[in-house]
Amino acid sequence: MLRAMTDPHPSSADLAYATAGEIMDRLVQGTLTSRELVATLRERIEFLEEHLELNIVAGLSEDALAVAEERDDERTRGEIRGSLHGLPVLLKDNIEAVGLPGLSGSTALIGRPTRDATLVTHLREAGAIILGSVNMSQWANMRSTNATAGYSASGGLVANPWALDRSAGGSSSGSGAAAAAGYAPLVVGTETDGSITSPASLNGVVGLKPTVGNVSKQHVIPITNEQDSPGPLTRCVADATLLYAALSDTTPPAARDTLSMTAVTNWRCGHLATDALVAAVIEDLRTSGVAVSSREAQKPGFDEGGDELYAMLCEYRDDLDAYLAGRPGEGPRSMAEVLRYERDHSDVECQYFGHEQMIAALATNGRASSDYAERRGRVTTWAQGTILEALGDSDVLLAAAYGPAWKSDLTLSDRGVYYSSGISVAATAGWPIMCVPIGQINGLPVGMTILGRANDEYTVLQAAGVIENVVRSRGIEQRATFRPPSRG
């Protein structure tokens, strides 16, 4: 990975932008301890959060240094817990972990979690150090149709480390920004529809949304069990593979000898320079010997009746109610109680926009609605069939991701958002989608998406690694620039 010459906190830059693999090598060789690593990253985080006002971090673990020392002692004794032994991990703030906020960006959820999400248990069992949690779009962007991506009442507006007035995407805004800013080598986000893919593309990092169900959602604040999935955000594909294996508790299979890819030519993002760069990278893949065919596929116009949104609203009502009813401690026990809280505290909760989507969800009868099953079945069947038809005999599909990050605007909300049709198709299908950075447009990163069949994450990851190698051969800088806000 190329390195920039300057950094806002140069004393930590070496460790901040090392890959998990590089860090692990140093831990094994004894030239670095986990305690030194955690202390350095905490110093970087505290400095950048204060001086650049990035609003990335929701909370830091009070016991991270003690756990790091414990992992060092275990390593000295030859007791290695697993593949992540001694590596720090940051979590999106809708994932419960003992001692961290777990607010989903809201001030309504009183009291810190007293339990770990199952995925956090997997991480601890693999030897990871939970470093802290990161800010996000409030209620995972399922709150207002006028919301600004990356904003929450509890944490403010997340800044993009490449350019501080640009969007960090949503809803895993803090997860993508944390990876780009060098806060940790491994970060966990969640996606329902674009919430890992968007921050990965806009922040110039790697992101994977796995097949729904392949990473546990237990004690993760939901939108819908039919489309939600936690997944990794990292600075390289190898680290995403490492983190996914720990999250899913799976063993990566042997790599395929050959990979076939199909570029979906009409799943463009609509931003001319970005679409041209995607086309150029695809030609580079072909030149390097990768089998890449091209074809058109159906585009979402299928949902003119609003089937996906309607199904999600029904599921949102049921799934958030169920989560809140079972959440230990104080706080709202239903979506209706959340709305009452937000109305009572509108000066904080509704300072910039409201909660129309929650109101719409409450107006449904949940999954008991008479036409819910039909509409969910229709839209899911369409999306899965579209992917399979486009794949044909290929292993993966390639398409644009998003255009360059737009300027964040809390008054007028998000504008100028360019994105590929394939993102919503994969989200609705519940199948894996990945984003890998391919370069910059005017100094802002953009990515390419890779779609695969259900439960075929490792093929998608392998394809991402091939693309990453081709992009690196172009000499693309992959280090955030921390540009200050610009005028106009």
Residues 315 and 453 in one domain: no
Tally of domains within the chain: 2
C-beta neighbour count of 129 within 10 angstroms: 28
pLDDT at residue number 68: 98
Residues 356 and 293 in one domain: no
CA contacts within 13 A on the Cβ side of 383: 28
Residues 184 and 151 in one domain: yes
Give the residue from 316, 340, 373 where a domain finishes: 373
What band does 3 get if pLDDT is binned at 50, 70 and 90?
A: very low
What's at 413, amino acid-wise? S
What's at 105, amino acid-wise? G
Q: How far from each other are the two terminal CA atoms of the chain, in whole angstroms? A: 32
Residues 340 and 448 in one domain: no
Residue 140 lies in a domain: yes
Which residue did the predictor score with more confidence, 25 or 305?
Answer: 25
Tens of pLDDT along 257-302?
999 999 999 999 999 999 999 999 999 999 999 999 999 988 765 5
Which 3-state string (H, E, C) describes the chain?
CCCCCCCCCHHHHHHHCCCHHHHHHHHHHCCCCHHHHHHHHHHHHHHHHHHHCCCCEEEECCCHHHHHHHHHHHHHCCCCCCCCCCCEEEEECCECCCCCCCCCCCCCCCCCCCCCCHHHHHHHHCCCEEEEEECCCHHHHCCCCCCCCCEECCCEECCECCECCECCCCCCHHHHHHHHHCCCCEEEEEECCCCCHHHHHHHCCEEEECCCCCCCCCCECCCCCCCCEEEEEECCHHHHHHHHHHHHCCCCCCCCCCCEEEEECCCCCCCHHHHHHHHHHHHHHHHCCCEEEEECCCCCCCCCCCHHHHHHHHHHHHHHHHHHHHCCCCCCCCHHHHHHHHHHCHHHHCCCCCCHHHHHHHCCCHHHCCCHHHHHHHHHHHHHHHHHHHHCCCCEEEEECECCCCECCCCCCCCCCCECHHHHHHHHHCCCEEEEEEEEECCEEEEEEEECCCCCHHHHHHHHHHHHHHHHHCCCCCCCCCECCCCC
pLDDT at residue number 412: 86
Residues 150 and 181 in one domain: yes
Residue 89 lies in a domain: yes
Question: What average pLDDT does the structure give for the chain?
Answer: 95
> Is 195 among the catalytic positions?
yes
Residue 4 lies in a domain: no
Residues 358 and 412 in one domain: no
What's at 456, amino acid-wise? D
**Catalytic residue from among 195, 201, 248, 408:** 195
pLDDT exceeds cutoff 50 at 235: yes
Q: Counting Cβ atoms within 10 Å, is residue 392 exposed (0-12), middle (13-18) or buried (19+)? A: exposed
**Catalytic residue from among 34, 92, 133, 201:** 92
Omega before residue 394 within 30° of 0, cis: no
Tokens encoding 222: 């939901």
C-beta neighbour count of 477 within 10 angstroms: 15
Residue 484 lies in a domain: no
Give the residue from 322, 357, 373 where a domain finishes: 373
pLDDT at residue number 39: 98
- CA 10 from centre of chain: 26
Tens of pLDDT along 294-317?
999 887 655 556 899 999 999 999
> Is 299 among the catalytic positions?
no
- With tokens 């996606």, the residue in question is 191
Residues 124 and 43 in one domain: yes
Tens of pLDDT along 54-79?
999 999 999 999 999 999 999 999 99
Q: What is the CA radius of gyration of the chain?
A: 21
pLDDT at residue number 357: 97
Give the domain CATH number at 55. Answer: 3.90.1300.10
pLDDT at residue number 2: 35
Longest dimension (CA), the chain: 63
Strands 396-400 and 444-451: antiparallel
Tens of pLDDT along 421-451?
899 999 999 999 999 999 999 999 999 999 9
pLDDT at residue number 301: 55
Residue 463 lies in a domain: yes
Residue 427 lies in a domain: yes
Tens of pLDDT along 74-115?
999 999 999 999 999 999 999 999 999 999 999 999 888 999
Tens of pLDDT along 375-416?
999 999 999 999 999 999 999 999 999 999 999 999 888 876
Residue 333's contacts (CB-CB under 8 Å, 6 or more residues apart) are 324, 325, 327
Residues 56 and 116 in one domain: yes
Residue 5 lies in a domain: no
Give the residue from 373, 396, 421 where a domain finishes: 373
- Global pTM reads 0.97
What band does 5 get if pLDDT is binned at 50, 70 and 90?
A: very low
What band does 4 get if pLDDT is binned at 50, 70 and 90?
A: very low
Residues 116 and 197 in one domain: yes
pLDDT at residue number 172: 98
Residues 335 and 295 in one domain: no
Q: Taking a C-beta distance cutoff of 8 angstroms, is the pair 438, 471 a contact?
A: yes
Residue 487 lies in a domain: no
pLDDT exceeds cutoff 90 at 183: yes
- What is the C-alpha separation between 305 and 310, in angstroms, rounded? 9
Q: What is the mean pLDDT of residues 29-38?
A: 98
**Catalytic residue from among 106, 171, 173, 420:** 171
β-partners of residue 467 are none
C-beta neighbour count of 311 within 10 angstroms: 28
> Is 175 among the catalytic positions?
no
Tens of pLDDT along 337-360?
999 999 999 999 999 999 999 999
C-beta neighbour count of 482 within 10 angstroms: 21
Residues 411 and 350 in one domain: no
What band does 486 get if pLDDT is binned at 50, 70 and 90?
A: confident
Which domain does 353 fall in, by range? 307-373
Which residue did the predictor score with more confidence, 139 or 297?
Answer: 139
Residues 354 and 383 in one domain: no
pLDDT at residue number 298: 80
Nearest to 364 by CA among 335, 332, 324: 335
Q: Report the share of the chain in percent with pLDDT over 70.
A: 97
